[in-house]
């Protein structure tokens, strides 16, 4: 059940974004209780509705796994904002909202009379969050971007991969999700400013800048005369996957003998090549081979818990299946079931943080245009005949 008094329960958000970054930003706002009205083009909806994988393996606008995840707890209306009538309707909606989040190319909404410069005089308290690959200004402003391009131009890829091979991209769409979190954080800061000073503002979110901040350690190295280098992975094979034993550096001298006992090689504790941190660092490859021979004979979680109990910085590479059976997630009730009319019941991730007195608002993703009548009739006062006319004209 939703919180009776959710943290952002008094806020209304108008979402004009598609894909990943913008919807991920507004997903957090919805999770904290805001009413998020997602504006989708009539007919096709958000582009993510056409992106697989699909729950029943065939393309369907209500069964995209990505859409279902990114748009939990929102309302959906259809509106063609490129028409004069649609633009006028949007302006009416803006006046009922506190926050607008959009991810169109710079100046596109300005060309429709729906940019910040046009809306702010009518609604000076509006927080207008614009998410683009490179920002609203600069020579790259009008260039197109993607998750790969963002990771590359933000220099994150420069730090990933083997030293003598091509740089690698982080899997999935990590850059776009990170940009969504950046947009959410910036929007919340703008909301704080509005609460203090009474005015809204334009929030300009650049995916390139977000990713550059995410790997700023490499930039700092360069500033101090060091060139960041890619390093080989220290992962080792386990019986059922991969582990990071965390033993080659940083382990306390009193812990090392206990680790040797655990691995069944107590004599290694007195070996001068490995009985100091400097020695383990110098003979890292040989040590990894010895540890790897031990890890390969045991399950990854057994290794993880055994080494963590000795206070080493160990870890294992979790699969998606591992996440759903994680005792840590179960204890914190991280995954929550949601029922959807097209896809049935499924488990969805919850919030990445908790606060005293807060519960994350769980709600399924909306069907395309599911809330047209509620928003247009109830919120704006349009009649059933008005909606039928707008539908016939292709505006909604």
216 pLDDT higher than 80: no
Instruction: Quote the mean pLDDT of the chain.
Output: 92
For the ranges 22-26, 88-92, 259-263, 351-355, which has the lowest average pLDDT? 351-355
Of 215 and 83, the one with more pLDDT: 83
Mean pLDDT of 32-36: 96
- Report d(CA 264, CA 262) in Å as an integer: 5
287 pLDDT higher than 80: yes
Asked if residue 204 and residue 136 are part of one domain, the reply reads: yes
Residue 336 lies in a domain: no
Which stretch, 3-12, 267-276, 368-377, has highest mean pLDDT?
Answer: 368-377
Residues with Cβ within 8 Å of 13's Cβ and at least 6 positions away in sequence, in order, are 26, 29, 30, 34, 35, 36, 37, 97, 98, 99, 100, 101
Mean pLDDT of 336-360: 90
Asked if residue 273 and residue 127 are part of one domain, the reply reads: no
Asked if residue 265 and residue 121 are part of one domain, the reply reads: no
* pLDDT > 70 fraction of the chain, expressed in percent and rounded: 95
The total domain count for the chain is 2
Q: What pLDDT, on a 0 to 100 scale, did the predictor assign at position 13?
A: 98
Residue 258 lies in a domain: yes
Backbone φ and ψ of 136, nearest 5°: -80, -10
User: Among 316, 331, 365, where does a domain finish?
Assistant: 316
Query: Is the dihedral angle over the CA atoms 373, 376, 382, 386 positive or is it negative?
Result: negative
Do 38 and 76 form a contact (C-beta atoms < 8 A)? yes
| pLDDT tens per residue, range 114-165 | 999 999 999 999 999 999 999 999 999 999 999 999 999 998 888 888 888 8
Asked if residue 362 and residue 271 are part of one domain, the reply reads: no
Which CATH number does the domain housing residue 168 bear? 3.40.50.10540
User: Among 287, 316, 345, where does a domain finish?
Assistant: 316
Residue 341 lies in a domain: no
Asked if residue 185 and residue 303 are part of one domain, the reply reads: no
Asked if residue 304 and residue 182 are part of one domain, the reply reads: no
Q: What pLDDT, on a 0 to 100 scale, did the predictor assign at position 2?
A: 45
Asked if residue 369 and residue 255 are part of one domain, the reply reads: no
Residue 249 lies in a domain: yes
Asked if residue 108 and residue 250 are part of one domain, the reply reads: no
Closest to 183 (Cα-Cα) out of 17, 373, 378, 46: 17
Q: How many CB atoms lie within 10 A of CB 10?
A: 11
Asked if residue 101 and residue 41 are part of one domain, the reply reads: yes
- Look at the block and give the residue holding tokens 């965390």: 246
Locate all alpha helices (DSSP H) within 12-129, ordered by sequence: 21-31, 65-70, 84-94, 108-111, 116-119
Asked if residue 152 and residue 100 are part of one domain, the reply reads: yes
Mean pLDDT of 190-207: 98
Residue 51 lies in a domain: yes
Which CATH number does the domain housing residue 285 bear? 3.30.1540.10
Q: State the residue range of the domain holding 308.
A: 236-316
Closest to 206 (Cα-Cα) out of 131, 142, 138, 101: 131
pTM above 0.75?
yes
Q: Which DSSP letter does residue 270 get?
A: G
Classified as helix, coil or strand, 102 is strand
Asked if residue 193 and residue 87 are part of one domain, the reply reads: yes
Asked if residue 116 and residue 88 are part of one domain, the reply reads: yes
Residue 180 lies in a domain: yes
Residue 123 lies in a domain: yes
If you compute the radius of gyration of the chain from its CA atoms, what whole number of angstroms results? 26
Residue 348 lies in a domain: no
Q: What pLDDT, on a 0 to 100 scale, did the predictor assign at position 223?
A: 55
């Amino acid at each position: 059940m939703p919180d009776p008094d959710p943290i952002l329960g008094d806020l209304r958000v108008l979402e004009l974004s598609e894909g990943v970054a913008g919807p991920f930003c507004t997903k957090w706002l919805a999770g904290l209780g805001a009413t998020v009205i997602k504006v989708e083009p009539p007919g096709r909806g958000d582009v993510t509705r056409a992106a697989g994988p699909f729950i029943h393996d065939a393309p369907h606008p209500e069964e995209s796994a990505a859409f279902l995840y990114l748009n939990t707890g929102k309302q959906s209306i259809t509106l063609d904002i490129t028409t004069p009538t649609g633009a006028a309707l949007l302006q009416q909606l803006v006046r009922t909202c506190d926050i607008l989040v959009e991810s169109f190319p710079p100046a596109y909404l300005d060309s429709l009379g729906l940019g910040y410069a046009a809306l702010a005089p009518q609604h000076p308290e509006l927080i207008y969050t614009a998410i683009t690959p490179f920002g609203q200004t600069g020579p790259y402003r009008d260039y197109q971007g993607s998750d790969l391009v963002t990771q590359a131009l933000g220099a994150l890829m420069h730090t990933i991969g083997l030293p003598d091979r091509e740089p690698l991209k982080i899997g999935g769409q990590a850059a776009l999700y990170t940009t969504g979190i950046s947009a959410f954080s910036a929007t919340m800061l703008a909301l704080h400013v509005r609460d203090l000073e009474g005015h809204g503002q334009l929030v300009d979110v650049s995916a390139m800048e977000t990713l550059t901040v995410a790997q700023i350690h490499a930039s700092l190295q360069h500033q101090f005369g060091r060139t960041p280098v890619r390093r080989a992975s220290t992962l080792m094979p386990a019986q059922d996957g991969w582990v990071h034993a965390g033993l080659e550096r940083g382990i306390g001298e009193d812990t090392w003998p206990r680790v040797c006992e655990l691995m069944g090689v107590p004599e290694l504790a007195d070996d001068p090549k490995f009985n100091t941190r400097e020695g383990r660092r110098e003979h890292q490859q040989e040590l990894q081979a010895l540890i790897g021979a031990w890890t390969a004979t045991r399950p990854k979680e057994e290794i993880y818990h055994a080494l963590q109990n000795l206070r080493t910085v160990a870890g294992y590479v979790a699969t998606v299946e591992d996440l759903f059976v994680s005792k840590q997630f179960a204890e914190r009730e991280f995954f929550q079931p949601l029922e959807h009319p097209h896809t049935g019941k499924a488990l969805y991730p919850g919030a990445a943080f908790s606060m005293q007195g807060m519960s994350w608002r769980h709600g399924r993703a909306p069907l395309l245009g599911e809330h047209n009548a509620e928003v247009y009739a109830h919120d704006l006062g349009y009649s059933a005949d008005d909606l039928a006319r707008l539908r016939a004209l292709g505006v909604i």
